[in-house]
Amino acid sequence: MSSIIDLTAIVTPRSGQTARFLELFQKCAEAVAQEPGTLIYELRKGLPDKNGGKQQLVIREVYADPAGQEAHMQSAAVKSMIAAIESGKLVENIDVIFTGSPIGARSKL
């Protein structure tokens, strides 16, 4: 059994807070360069005109193991992001989905 942690988060920023969220995410992404246990850390913007009019952000995180995720969560940049989220002013909603190994995939990228 693999110890890899793979998750996707769908974040809906509060109105007017997308730029601030992206700023905080960028600081987290820069910190990832020093985290050997963080294998994938990426963000994509949803397309509001295709997704009910709301701006949503899709974040994918993959960690080598639980220790890699814990190291990431303890970084100053991530702690700052969490504090901003917990303030209630930054995001309207976050859904996090932990996933297992792919059961079917095909990519030509």
pLDDT in tens, 48-63: 999 999 999 999 999 9
Tell me the C-alpha distance between 65 and 44, whole Å.
23
For the chain, which domains are there?
18-99 (3.30.70.100)
Tell me the torsion sign for CA atoms 15, 88, 59, 18.
positive
Query: Residue 1 pLDDT > 70, yes or no?
Result: no
Q: What is the pTM of this model?
A: 0.91
Here the tokens at position 36 are: 């050997």
